[in-house]
Amino acid sequence: MKKSRVAVLRTRPETVLQDYQRLCELAGIKEALDPSATTILKDNISWHLLYPSSNTTPWQLEGTILGLKNAGFNDLVDVHNKTVVTIADLGDRYNKFGPVLEKYGIPKKYNFNPDDMTWIRYQPKAKMLVLDKIFPHGIYIPDYFIGKNIVHLPTVKTHSYTTTTGAMKNAFGGLLSTHRHYTHTWIHDTLVDLLAIQKEIHTGIFATMDGTTAGSGPGPRTLTPVRKDVILASADQVAIDAVAARMMGFDPLKMQYIAHATERGLGQGDPREIEIVGMPEVAEERWNFKVGVNLGTGTGMLLWRSPLKVFQKLLFHTPLVNIFIWASETYHDSLWYPLKGRRVVEQWKRESVWGQLFEQYPE
């Protein structure tokens, strides 16, 4: 049986765009996608505010676009989603996606805008682990996603609820509506179900992952950014997440979403069955990243994973959920970011070569 392939490269600001193009070629982007189909660029906005390691980087977006164009894929469209605590247009603006998309003439669509796409009921062919139970009245997905390639653009970072987050988790925003928080108790198997659906509806799936500045700690927002100068790509969403998790210092097969996806044949999470191309020695690094919780994620863990989860429907399926949305926004945007996050960002812009590269991108 042929091994899954993950491309890994060390990069630097002076060569990052060329390196992304080489990365895409090494990972087999041309073979992974359907040349006759539109290709969706699914960016990752974990926080609409600029914060290193949290969101897709402008050079990741630009380098991936160039890699696609080199392989003959010119029908590209970028898709934004929103969550109850992130604002798509602000994320686009603060993270400088807009000028990159304009440079290459790539339109933007929003999965929450009825003028761009409609949410339709979808009956998966694959047996669902949890989604049919969480949404007993039907699983709904954007009609626009059906029959198109998708390229995910996550970053290398930890996550308080899933240990790490990457290519598989990036489908969470695209394929689930603003009620996606219903799934948090069963988040691992939710990601497995979403990958099964992706394999049914997309003509091809690919991912690039940016670890130029990687994130350790209580992700996906209040992270400790660490310069790592690494980029990854693969057509196997499970394999790229497994390799990134291993580099961060975790055993991928002890992470439920990777292990369960591997068991169901949706990808390969066993490092022994993954071929590393490009710079295999970089994939052997172990960074000893840690997963933590902050006030927001700690509260979430109590309500989604402890005996208090019996109150979920009362707290999250009624207007009472707005209290938690307000509390999260207040903590992250009005308290943590002004008191700590902004200093981290300014230091990154001033002292990191990646922050300096970010400053060179137009507003």
pLDDT tens digits along 248-300: 999 999 999 999 999 999 999 999 999 999 999 999 999 999 997 776 666 66
Pairing status of strand 204-216 against strand 224-234? antiparallel
Kindly report whether the peptide bond that precedes residue 220 is cis, defined as omega within 30 degrees of 0: yes
**What pLDDT was estimated at residue 109?**
96
Cα–Cα distance measured from residue 350 to residue 284, given in angstroms and rounded to the nearest whole number: 30
pLDDT at 131 > cutoff 70: yes
Cα–Cα distance measured from residue 308 to residue 256, given in angstroms and rounded to the nearest whole number: 22
**What pLDDT was estimated at residue 310?**
67
pLDDT at 306 > cutoff 80: no
Q: How many structural domains comprise the chain?
A: 1
| Residue range 220-233: mean pLDDT, rounded | 97
Instruction: Report which residue type is found at 243.
Output: V
- Distance from chain centroid for Cα 81: 12
The model's pLDDT over 310-344, given as tens digits with 9 standing for 90+, comes to: 667 766 677 776 776 777 888 899 999 999 999 99
pTM over 0.85: yes
DSSP bridge pairs for 109: 79
Containing structural domain, residue 354: 4-360
User: Can you list the alpha helix ranges (DSSP code H) found in the chain?
Assistant: 16-26, 29-32, 58-70, 88-94, 97-103, 131-134, 167-175, 187-201, 237-248, 256-263, 280-283, 295-305, 312-316, 321-329, 342-351, 353-360
| Residue range 177-205: mean pLDDT, rounded | 91
Handedness of CA 210, 215, 216, 217 (dihedral sign): negative
